[in-house]
Each structure stands twice: as C-alpha cells, then as structure tokens.
Amino acid sequence: MGRLARAGAMVGVLVLTASLALTGCGDDQKKPAAAGGGQQGDPTATASTGPTGGPPPVDPAPLEVSPADGAARRPVSTEISAKIPGGGKVSKVVLAAANGRTVEGRPRRDGSSWVPSAPLKYGTRYTATVTATGTDGRTHEGTSTFTTMTKPKSMIGSGLYLFSDRTYGVAMPVVAEFSPGIPKKDRAAVQKRMFVQTDPPQPGAWHWLPNGTQAYYRAPEYWKPGTTLTVRLALAGIPLSNGRYGNVDRSATAKIGRAFEMKVDNATKRMTVYENGELVRTLPVSLGKKSTPSSSGTMVVMEKKESTVFDTRDDPDPDNRYVTEIDFAQRLTWGGEYIHAAPWSVTAQGHRNVSHGCVNVSTANARWLFAQTLIGDPVTVRGTERKLVPGNGWTAWSLSWPEFAAGSALPVPEGGDGPAF
C-alpha cells in the first residue's frame, strides 16, 4: 500500500410555470395552489359596459415577483420566481444590471424559478421583468428591482473532480468536495444548486458522505459509452447556516469513453478485464496479505502515475515502512491502494497474497493495463477480509442503487432523478 499526496485537482445548468416556489435539481414537486382570481373587480357587476357596448376591459393582475421590489442584500445565488394570479405559465424573464447589461439564464424544468447562468455580481442593483400568460389567456407582467449583498468574508471551499474536454471511464462519478463539510440541514439547499445534465439523457442522483465533505452523482447503472456530462456547481454566494457562503461556481463538460471494466477475485488471484462487455485478458494478481488486506468493493481509477515513489515511513507498524520506486501505478483509494507493477512478487501472483493492500501485477501486465485505462474505469475486488470504507476513494459504486439514492438530501423519484432543465 503506497501513500501519495492527494492528487486530482478540484475544478470547478437551468429552468417556469405557475406559483413558482424554489425547488431544484429536476425534482418534480406539485405546484402550490395559485392564490387569487384571474381578474380584478366584482365579477357580479355586469351592468356597466365598455366603449363598444360589451363588458369593460379589465387590466390583468400584476405578477408578484421574487425577490420583492426593493429587496436588499440578496445573495448572488438568487433565482427569479413569480406568482401568477389564477395560475398560468411564465414565458419570459429579463434580468438586467444597473448598467443595462442583461443576465443570461434558464428556467428550471419544474417551473419553480429562473436561474442565472452565472453568479450575480456583489453589491449590484438588478431589475427583473417577468412576463407570464394566465390560464385565461391574458398577459401578466411584473417588475422588481433589488440589490445584492457585499462580498462576505467567511466562505466555504468547494471543488469539482472533473475537467472539461477530458474523456473518462463509465464509472466516473461527479464528485463535489467541500471544506469544511456542508452541515446536514443545508445539504438540500446546496444540492438544488448542483446541476448535472447527460446526453443522451440518463437518470441519476446525488449521495452525501456522512460528514458532508463530498457528494457523488451517478446513474443507477454505469454511464452509457459516449455520454456527455455537463456539470455546474452553482454555489457562489449560497448562504449556509454556519454563517459561511459558497465561494465560487465550478463547471465542466466531459465525455464518457468506451466501457472498460476490471474484476479481481481473491479466490482465484486473477483479474479479468472486459472491454465493451467482451473478455479481453486475464491477469494473475497478488493482493494484500492477511495483516494488510485489500479492500473489497467497487472502486474507480482516480489517478495514474507512470512512475512514482511509495513512501510509508510514517506507518506506525515498522513492518509496513518502506520507500520503493513504483511503475504504472493506478490509484484506487485515498488510503493508498493501487494497481501497480510488482516485479518482486511475480512468483506469488496468481497463488498467494503478499502485498500491503495493493493489486500487484507483473511489469508487462501493468504496462499493458496502464495503456488501456481511463480515470473513472471501474475496478471491483471481491473476497478479501476488508470491506471498502465509504469515502476512501470515489466509492459511489460500492453501494446498491437504493442505498445510494437514500443518501440524497432531496427526494429521488423511483429510477432516479432527471436533469434540472
């Protein structure tokens, strides 16, 4: 088992109908009942007539826009919503800064609000003009001018383990990271601002680690090869209950490559390698010895190093301290489990376990495997003495789908949630 500095740089999408209350991430909730009627005036007063002898014209009731007119110190994560008297559908939102520059945005799929495509500016005045068509066919309009807060001093760090214009394996989860962790009571609000779109469309859900430091997004099954993932963590300025605010928005658009899967069986001491469902190679392996067992579970390749050094001189067990040059290392856990070349254990590979927790293969097999894999390719290890610990690596696939979906801060429809837009 080797230890390296935690690599994987942290890098860091939008949708309106009646009586708009904030919701999120494509969560289809029932719309609240609309308040008030569709027209003003006394509906029984039919004696008066208009200029042409018919009923007098009635001005449509104005929209109640949120944020309210005159609102101050609004977060830069603010979304625009409106209530339509009698019900109806918002058809247009125009949001402009005091300098006249308009802000692009998109309505959520469920119609609950309109989300700016980038965080608003701190300490800036904005005017939102919302146009809607009521159920009676009349056009309603409402306007609100509000100001955003000044930049807060206390912020929470965030990261996105996904790079634009990269190709990943079919098990690559969307990984959001937070430092310090998100308090449990804030996770639903944060999750509403974490947008994932897939092309072709596939359902998915978020799952939070218990300490709130990471959240994973995945589908019920591995991503379809060729899928495009478009992700936006729209967290800049989002207020949290601990007095902190989100620091920045992070986004990425990445591609999923071919299906490539590695399965390791401790009973046979063999790794079977599949590409697009076809068995392409079987490799003898040596796993962790009894005192330092390998983890059983489904992991993903998180990092690749053609050459590196494992330095475990800080291990409390003297028998586990060493400094060794390693070739073709592929990280599976934060705790230091890798697939890597181990020429010193070739005679043990396929027969007995002698490693410190890593998956040992020959140099030739390690070189071949290294050339085939992508970050995000799944590796499943079975039959060892230790179970994979949640959060020790990108452990999104170590749970069944029902177990995974249960870790969402928002209700997940059966089969998984869809995109927010």
Alpha carbon distance 373, 393 (integer Å): 17
Residue 107 belongs to domain spanning: 64-147
8-17, 107-116, 162-171, 408-417, range with the lowest pLDDT: 8-17
Category of 117 on φ-ψ map: left (φ > 0), alpha (ψ -120 to 50) or beta? alpha
Structure tokens at 200: 């072709």
The answer to the question of residue 42 being in a domain is no
Structure tokens at 375: 């970050």
Which CATH number goes with the domain that contains 76?
2.60.40.3780
The residue among 392 and 11 whose pLDDT is bigger is: 392
pLDDT at 57: 44
> What tens digit of pLDDT does each residue of 310-356 get?
776 666 676 666 678 899 999 999 999 999 999 999 999 999 999 99
The answer to the question of residue 24 being in a domain is no
Q: Which residues contact 323 (CB under 8 A, 6 or more apart)?
A: 309, 310, 311, 312, 313
The answer to the question of residue 190 being in a domain is yes
> What tens digit of pLDDT does each residue of 181-219 get?
999 999 999 999 999 999 999 999 999 999 999 999 999
Residue 17 in this model has a pLDDT that exceeds 80: no
Select from 258, 289, 318 the last residue of a domain: 258
- Same domain for 326 and 222, yes or no, is no
The helix or strand, by DSSP H or E, that contains position 264, with its residue range, turns out to be strand 260-265
pLDDT at 4: 44
Q: Is the dihedral of CA 314, 320, 325, 326 positive or negative?
A: negative
Query: Of all residues in the chain, what percent carry a pLDDT higher than 70?
Result: 83
- pLDDT band for position 413 (50/70/90)? confident
The helix or strand, by DSSP H or E, that contains position 371, with its residue range, turns out to be helix 363-372
- Same domain for 271 and 345, yes or no, is yes
Enzyme catalytic residues: 340, 358
- pLDDT band for position 14 (50/70/90)? very low
> What tens digit of pLDDT does each residue of 136-187 get?
888 999 999 999 999 999 999 999 999 999 999 999 999 999 999 999 999 9
Tokens 């043990």 belong to 348
Closest by CA to 16, choosing from 66, 81, 77, is 81
Cα end-to-end distance, the chain, whole Å: 44
Select from 147, 165, 191 the last residue of a domain: 147
Residue 122 in this model has a pLDDT that exceeds 80: yes
Select from 121, 147, 173 the last residue of a domain: 147
- Same domain for 265 and 184, yes or no, is no
pLDDT at 322: 62
SS3 call for 185: helix
Which CATH number goes with the domain that contains 287?
2.40.440.10
pLDDT at 312: 66
Residue 39 in this model has a pLDDT that exceeds 50: no
Pairing of strands 323-331, 338-341: antiparallel
The residue among 278 and 35 whose pLDDT is bigger is: 278
Alpha carbon distance 301, 25 (integer Å): 28
- Same domain for 269 and 393, yes or no, is yes
Closest by CA to 395, choosing from 384, 387, 383, is 387
The answer to the question of residue 419 being in a domain is no
Residue 410 in this model has a pLDDT that exceeds 70: yes
pLDDT at 11: 39
pLDDT at 416: 83
- Same domain for 239 and 317, yes or no, is no
If you average pLDDT over every residue of the chain, what do you get?
Answer: 86
pLDDT at 418: 77
pLDDT at 313: 62
- Same domain for 323 and 254, yes or no, is no
Closest by CA to 124, choosing from 155, 141, 100, 107, is 100
Helices (H) and strands (E) in the chain, counts: 3, 27
- Same domain for 280 and 175, yes or no, is no
Which CATH number goes with the domain that contains 161?
2.60.40.3710
The answer to the question of residue 297 being in a domain is yes
- pLDDT band for position 30 (50/70/90)? very low
How many structural domains are present in the chain?
A: 3
- Same domain for 185 and 282, yes or no, is no
Query: Of all residues in the chain, what percent carry a pLDDT higher than 90?
Result: 74
> What tens digit of pLDDT does each residue of 219-273 get?
999 999 999 999 999 999 999 999 999 999 999 999 999 999 999 999 999 999 9
- Same domain for 306 and 236, yes or no, is no
- Same domain for 205 and 142, yes or no, is no
Alpha carbon distance 220, 285 (integer Å): 30
- Same domain for 84 and 172, yes or no, is no
The helix or strand, by DSSP H or E, that contains position 366, with its residue range, turns out to be helix 363-372
